Structures are given as C-alpha cells and as structure tokens.
C-alpha cells in the first residue's frame, strides 16, 4: 500500500515538474538569452545550455541591456508607461471610490438607475469604441498627450462596482460618530473611510495597474509620436527595424516584464484575493 | 398657569418644525452629496464611453472618412449590407470563430486540470502554482514577440526541441494551416494560469464532507469528480466560459504582432479588420458598422451567460 502511494506520488511530481517546465521554459529562455551575445544564443539553442546562464560573456552580463537602451529610447517608453498607468490608477482610485461610496451610502433620486447604467457599460467592449474615441480625443486636441492617454480610462465601471460592494459592508457607526463631531462628508470620506479601506484600494490598484501596463490598442492609436509611445508599443521597434538583435530583444522584453513581476511578487495576496472574489462571486 | 401651557405648546411645535426642517435639509444635503460623489465618474463614463458608443452607432450609418471629417453623409444601411459582401470580413469572422471554438474548451480544460493538480495534498503547492501562473504576468505583446522567436521555423527553440524527439521542423507561423493553431497554443499557455486560480477558488468552496460521504459510500475518484466536483464548479465554469469567450472574440494583439494577419489572411480577426479599415484605410463609417456588429456579438454572449446563471438560481 505504502509502496503504491510512493509510486503514485513520484509520477505525480514528475508530471507536475514537466508541466512547470512547459510553462516556464519561454520565460527562462528569455531571461537567459538576454545575458548572452548573439553568437552564443544560436550556438546554445539546440541543447540544454539554452536554459543555462552563460559563463562570463564578453562585455559583461548586461551588454544587451545597455545596447537596447542605447538603440531605442526604452527609458522614455518606460516613463510614458509609468505616467500612463499610474495616472489612470491614481485618478481612478479617487473618482471610482467616490462613485462607489455614493452608490453604497447616499439616498438620492435615480440612484438605482445610475448603478444599472454603470453596470451596463461593463458590456461595452473598448475595442468597439476606439475609433469614435479617437475622433473625440483628436477634436479635443489630446492626440499625443498624456491627457489623451489617461483621461478616457479613469472612470471604470468594474472598479466602481468593487468599491460599492466593499462600502455596502462597511460599518456605518464610524461615519455617524464623525458626523456628530461636525466633520463634512468629503472630510469623512478622505480622512476616515479611505484610510480604513486599504484592502479594497490595494485590490483595485493592482487590477488597474496590470490592465493598463499591458494596454496595447489605445496607446497604439493615440500615441503616434515616438516620444509618447508606451513600452508595449515601443517594443515593436525591435521587430520592425532590421537587423533584429535577439539578445537586445530579450533584454527589452525582460525589462518590460519586471514591473509586473515586482507587483506580483509583493502584492500577490491582494491580487489573488481580488481575483477569486470576482470569480466566485460572479 | 394658562400662559405657561401655551408657552410649552409653542415651544413643542417649534422644536417639531425645527426637527422636520433639519430632516429635510439633511435629506437634500444627502442628495447633493450623492451627486457630488457620483458626478465625476458619471461624467467621464458618459463622455468617454457612452458618447463614443453612440457615435459608433451614428457613424455606422454614414460614409465618415477620417480625412474628410466635414463631409459626413447619411447612407442608411449601406455599410451593413456591405458587411455581408466583404470577403475580408467573412474571413475575419471565420478566423475569430475558429479561434474561439478551439481556445475556449482547450483553455478551460487545461485550467481545470492544473487546478485539480494543485488542489491535491502535495508539497510545494505555491511553487507549482506560481510556475503555472507565471505566463499571465507577462503582457500579450511581450509574449507575442517572445513566441515569434520560439516559433521561428529555422532557428527557433521549439523546432530544436521537437528535433530532439525526431520531429521534423514545422513552419508554424509561416504556414496558413498552422499559424492560427500556433497562436491558439500560445494563447492557452499564456492565459490558462489565470483561470486556474479561479477554478482553485471554486474547488475550495466545495464542502469537504461531500467527498467524505462519497468515499464512505464507495464512490471511485472518477465518480466523485463527475458527481461532486463538476456540479460544484458550475457557476465558476460559466463565469470562466464567458470571460474566455469574450476575450477570444477580441483577439487582436497576437496576430497583429506575430503574423500581421497572414499568411494569406489566415490569422486576420474581427477586431484586426476593424482596426485596419478604420485606422489604416480611414473608413470610419464602415469600420463603425463592423464595430456595432461586434458589440452585438459580445452582447449576445453576455445575455446567454445571464440566462444560464439565472436558470441555475431559479
């Protein structure tokens, strides 16, 4: 009996490790290749060495990174991506949390109607409105500006909905106590509610960051000038401008992935919480 | 005495009206507060989502051309009738449907399989979970570029790996027969970890005593899977089914970067076609009519989901 279990477990672990390799090998290859010179990448590709870091490559381990940053203004693209993502994130946290709070707490006419409208907008795929949105942003003179990148995506129905659900369960007594002390409603919200609602702000912030860091279509359409490109759009430069330097490409891909990796490593708990919450609650 | 009574009554009435007034002002204060808090989001959603949606609908009945914004003419249903004659639309629709029909069941099955594996009593759970999830952390653009190299027919890593098993090099992205399948394989690889986490949450919500009771009754693991696990995952599965389907009909980034819709239009998708017509050919009118059709498609999927979930609850 014990022997059978041992065999079963061994098979299971071997199978799961092979699967893990299948999921990880492109990542490992990307990281490892970013440290090699062009010759070495092709030399190693037919063997296990494709997944092993090189022994002291000429020019040091970061030669590709330095070259990639010199060839293309990756730094500028990264800054643009950060401004774009964090701009949407910060403005969105303020605007959407306030809306969620209003829908959860205040009694005012048409409250349920607005909630229904906001939830209905969730169905509209961004892919179906990018052309009229472009025309609008163009007419506002916002093409190739941070404003044009950020403002259209600040309000987000899904974030509003998450905030509303959270505030519905939030104890009322705290606000009532503050009200008796003569605090204004805006004051109560920003001084008392917000600091006590860190988990939901963290969850919405992570979702917003991940979504918009990876955005492609809107930045592609609205940021046509090179200086306004986000990193996701800027990466294509390496593909479109021959000769393609594989090592440099892998370095650029790695650099693009790092912010997401960091977010994920440090905030995994909030992300998975939020994810499972939305999934199982449906 | 009489005066005293009168005074008392007066003061009572006064305090009552005061309270009523207070209540009223409190109520109107709440209305004001409500709208002050809601208005920024409402305005932004209206201007940047509802208005463009309306404009897409309006443009779809016009010949709006991006270079001549002042000469918009109403042309009725002309765009919509053209959709059915447009061979590129037909092909894009077929490609999109093919992608969705394959990617949805495969990705769901892979995600469920991974979740079942992780959900066992094993060591290093977190390590395996993180490994399977890690492709999700990468953006579609990064993944698309990376796999373009992996799929490279001559010096790509995957052909080298297949060569170890004696499999001859495959053309992958350069063959009209294989390009879409290659994109499907990559998309499953990238996305399955995400749904795995949702399935995992669903699995953990199934009461343990059901399994205990079943094994006491002598149910095999297979029977337990069919009679306890799958029914217990119903709601989660519907949610996952819909999110993957909607994401699948939106397919754009992978073909745009990896194949530019080729070879021979075999990876051109609906959204890609809309993008090309609207942005490259600048025919906003026609592109908008396709966007309207596309929106209706997404809407239909959502309605079907609502129906299925409602049935479950009712």
pLDDT tens for residues A107-134?
888 999 999 999 999 889 999 999 999 9
Asked if A279 and B198 count as a contact pair (C-beta separation under 8 A), the reply is: yes
Asked if B65 and B71 count as a contact pair (C-beta separation under 8 A), the reply is: yes
Task: Mutation target for A interface from B24, B25, B38: give the one with most A CBs within 10 A.
Answer: B38
Residue numbers in A near B205 (CB within 8 A): 280
Does residue A252 belong to any structural domain of this protein? yes
- For B69-74, what is the mean pLDDT? 82
A43: tokens are 């030399």
pLDDT tens for residues B235-249?
899 889 999 999 999
pLDDT score recorded for residue B293: 96
Q: Which of B37, B143, B146 sits opposite A98 (nearest CB)?
A: B37
For the cut 50, the answer to whether the pLDDT of residue B183 exceeds it is yes
The rounded distance, in Å, linking the Cα atoms of B51 and A131 is 12
Domain range list for chain B: 87-313
Residues 237-266 of A with CB under 8 A from B: 238-239, 246, 249-250, 253, 256-257, 260-261, 264
Residue numbers in A near B135 (CB within 8 A): 23, 26-27
Position A282 confidence tier, pLDDT thresholds 50, 70, 90: very low
Position A168 confidence tier, pLDDT thresholds 50, 70, 90: very high
The rounded distance, in Å, linking the Cα atoms of A206 and B140 is 18
Number of structural domains in chain A: 2
B257 with A239: Cβ contact below 8 A: yes
Residue numbers in A near B100 (CB within 8 A): none
Does residue A67 belong to any structural domain of this protein? no
- For A77-90, what is the mean pLDDT? 97
Residue numbers in A near B45 (CB within 8 A): 117-118, 121, 155, 157
- The residue ranges of DSSP E strands in chain A, in sequence order, are none
Give the end of a domain, one of A38, A61, A84: A61
- For A180-193, what is the mean pLDDT? 86
Residues facing residue A178 across a β-bridge: none
pTM attached to this predicted model: 0.90
Does residue A221 belong to any structural domain of this protein? yes
| Residues A121 and A193 reside in one and the same domain | yes
Residues 16-45 of A with CB under 8 A from B: 16, 19-20, 22-27, 29-30, 42, 45
| Residues A80 and A181 reside in one and the same domain | yes
Least confident of A35-39, A272-276, B262-266, B290-294: A272-276
The rounded distance, in Å, linking the Cα atoms of A231 and B258 is 17
Does residue A282 belong to any structural domain of this protein? no
pLDDT tens for residues B79-103?
999 999 999 999 999 999 999 999 9
Does residue A281 belong to any structural domain of this protein? no
Q: Identify the burial level of A86 via C-beta atoms within 10 angstroms of its C-beta, where 0-12 means exposed, 13-18 middle and 19 or more buried.
A: middle
Give the end of a domain, one of A11, A38, A61: A61
B239 with A279: Cβ contact below 8 A: yes
Say what percent of chain B tops pLDDT 90. Answer: 70
Position B22 confidence tier, pLDDT thresholds 50, 70, 90: low
**A254 or A237, which is more confident?**
A254
Q: How many helices (H) and strands (E) would you count in chain A?
A: 16, 0
pLDDT tens for residues B289-308?
999 999 999 999 888 877 87
pLDDT tens for residues A202-219?
889 988 998 899 999 999
Q: What is the CATH number of the domain that holds A211?
A: 1.10.3720.10
- For B152-158, what is the mean pLDDT? 88
**Is A276 touching B (CB cutoff 8 A)?**
yes
| Residues A52 and A191 reside in one and the same domain | no
**ipTM for the complex shown:** 0.91
Domain range for residue A50? 2-61
**A1 or A82, which is more confident?**
A82
| Residues A47 and A163 reside in one and the same domain | no
pLDDT score recorded for residue A264: 81
Measured between CA atoms, the residue of chain B closest to residue A272 is B197
| Residues A169 and A243 reside in one and the same domain | yes
pLDDT score recorded for residue A10: 92
The CATH code that applies to domain B87-313 is: 1.10.3720.10
| Residues A29 and A80 reside in one and the same domain | no
B45 with A257: Cβ contact below 8 A: no
Give the end of a domain, one of A40, A61, A82: A61
Q: How many CB atoms lie within 10 A of CB B122?
A: 13
Q: How many CB atoms lie within 10 A of CB B308?
A: 15
Say what percent of chain B tops pLDDT 70. Answer: 91
Residue numbers in A near B142 (CB within 8 A): 232, 235, 253, 256-257
pLDDT tens for residues B28-58?
888 898 999 999 999 999 999 999 999 999 9
| Residues A36 and A95 reside in one and the same domain | no
Does residue A175 belong to any structural domain of this protein? yes
Whether the bond between B297 and the residue before it is cis, its omega within 30 degrees of 0, is no
**Is A135 touching B (CB cutoff 8 A)?**
yes
């Amino acid at each position: 009996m014990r022997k059978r279990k041992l065999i079963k477990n061994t098979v299971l672990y071997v199978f799961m490790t092979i699967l893990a390799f299948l999921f990880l090998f492109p990542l490992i290859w990307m990281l490892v290749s970013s440290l090699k010179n062009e010759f070495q990448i092709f030399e190693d590709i037919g063997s296990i060495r494709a997944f092993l870091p090189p022994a002291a490559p000429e020019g040091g381990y970061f030669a590709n990174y330095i070259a990639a940053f010199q060839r293309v203004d990756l730094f500028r693209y990264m800054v643009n991506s950060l401004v774009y993502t964090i701009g949407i994130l910060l403005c969105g946290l303020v605007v959407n949390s306030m809306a969620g709070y209003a829908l959860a707490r205040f009694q005012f006419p048409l409250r349920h109607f607005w909630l229904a409208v906001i939830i209905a907008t969730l169905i509209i795929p961004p892919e179906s409105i990018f052309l009229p949105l472009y025309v609008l942003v163009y007419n506002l003179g916002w093409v190739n500006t941070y404003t044009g990148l950020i403002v259209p995506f600040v309000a987000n129905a899904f974030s509003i909905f998450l905030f509303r659900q959270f505030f519905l369960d939030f104890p009322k007594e705290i606000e009532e106590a503050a009200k008796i002390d003569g605090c204004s409603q805006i004051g109560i919200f920003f001084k008392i509610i917000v600091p006590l609602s860190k988990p939901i702000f963290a969850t919405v912030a992570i979702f917003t960051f991940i979504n918009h860091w990876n955005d492609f279509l809107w930045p592609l359409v609205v940021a046509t000038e090179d200086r306004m490109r986000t990193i996701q759009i800027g990466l294509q430069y390496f593909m479109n401008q021959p000769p393609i330097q594989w090592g440099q490409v892998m370095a650029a891909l790695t650099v693009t992935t790092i912010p997401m990796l960091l977010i994920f490593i440090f905030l995994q708990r909030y992300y998975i919480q939020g994810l499972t919450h939305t999934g199982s609650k449906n | 005495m009489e005066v005293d009574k009168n005074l008392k009554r007066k003061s009572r009435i006064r305090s009552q009206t005061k309270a009523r007034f207070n209540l009223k002002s409190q109520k109107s204060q709440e209305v004001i507060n409500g709208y002050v808090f809601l208005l920024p989001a409402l305005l932004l959603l209206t201007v940047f989502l509802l208005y463009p949606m309306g404009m897409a609908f309006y443009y779809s009945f016009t010949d709006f051309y991006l270079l001549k914004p002042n000469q918009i003419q109403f042309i009725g249903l002309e765009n919509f009738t053209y959709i059915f004659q447009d061979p590129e639309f037909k092909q894009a629709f077929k490609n999109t449907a093919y992608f969705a029909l394959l990617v949805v069941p495969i990705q769901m099955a892979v995600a469920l399989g991974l979740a079942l594996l992780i959900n066992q009593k094993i060591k290093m759970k977190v390590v395996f979970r993180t490994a399977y999830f890690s492709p999700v952390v990468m953006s579609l653009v990064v993944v698309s570029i990376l796999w373009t190299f992996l799929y490279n027919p001559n010096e790509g890593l995957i052909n080298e790996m297949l060569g170890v098993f004696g499999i001859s090099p495959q053309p992958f992205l350069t063959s009209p027969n294989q390009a879409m399948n290659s994109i499907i394989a990559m998309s499953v690889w990238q996305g399955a970890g995400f749904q795995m986490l949702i399935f995992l949450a669903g699995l953990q919500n199934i009461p343990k005593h059901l399994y205990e009771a079943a094994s006491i009754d002598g149910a095999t693991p297979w029977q337990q899977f069919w009679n306890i696990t799958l029914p217990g995952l119903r709601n989660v599965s519907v949610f996952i089914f819909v999110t993957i389907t909607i994401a699948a009909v939106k397919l754009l980034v992978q073909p745009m970067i990896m194949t530019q819709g080729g070879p021979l239009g075999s990876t051109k998708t609906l959204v890609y076609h809309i993008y090309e017509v609207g942005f490259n050919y600048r025919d906003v009118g026609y592109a908008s009519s396709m966007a309207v059709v596309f929106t209706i498609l997404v809407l239909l999927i959502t309605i079907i989901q609502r129906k299925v979930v409602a049935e479950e609850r009712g």
